[in-house]
C-alpha cells in the first residue's frame, strides 16, 4: 500500500479518492503520431518502388 503525503501534512492512500483539481493534466504525445506517419509514408514509397520488380517474376 502506497501512502502519499500532501502539502498540508495529511497522508492519503494513492488508490483512494483523488481530487480532480490535483490530478495531472493529460497531454497527448504527438511525436508518436508523427513517427507513425513517417514510417507509413516510407513504407508506401518502398512498396511503390518494389511494385514493378514483383510484377516481373
Q: How many Å apart are CA 30 and CA 28, to the nearest integer?
A: 6
* Secondary structure (DSSP) of 22-48: GSPPP---HHHHHHHHHHHHHHHHHHH
pLDDT, tens only, 7-47: 666 555 555 555 666 777 888 899 999 999 999 999 999 88
- Answer yes or no: pTM beyond 0.95: no
Model pLDDT, residue 23? 79
As given in the structure block, the three cell numbers for residue 3 are 501512502
Of residues 51 and 8, the one with the higher pLDDT is 51
Query: With contact defined as beta carbons under 8 Å apart, do 15 and 9 qualify?
Result: no
Work out the burial of residue 11: count CB atoms within 10 Å of its CB; fewer than 13 is exposed, 13-18 middle, 19 or more buried.
Answer: exposed
Model pLDDT, residue 22? 74
What does the domain layout of the chain look like in residue ranges?
3-55
Amino acid at each position: 500500500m502506497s501512502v502519499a503525503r500532501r502539502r498540508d501534512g495529511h497522508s492519503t492512500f494513492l488508490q483512494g479518492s483523488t481530487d480532480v483539481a490535483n490530478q495531472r493534466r493529460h497531454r497527448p504525445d504527438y511525436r508518436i503520431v508523427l513517427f507513425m506517419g513517417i514510417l507509413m509514408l516510407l513504407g508506401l514509397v518502398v512498396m511503390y518502388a518494389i511494385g514493378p520488380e514483383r510484377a516481373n517474376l
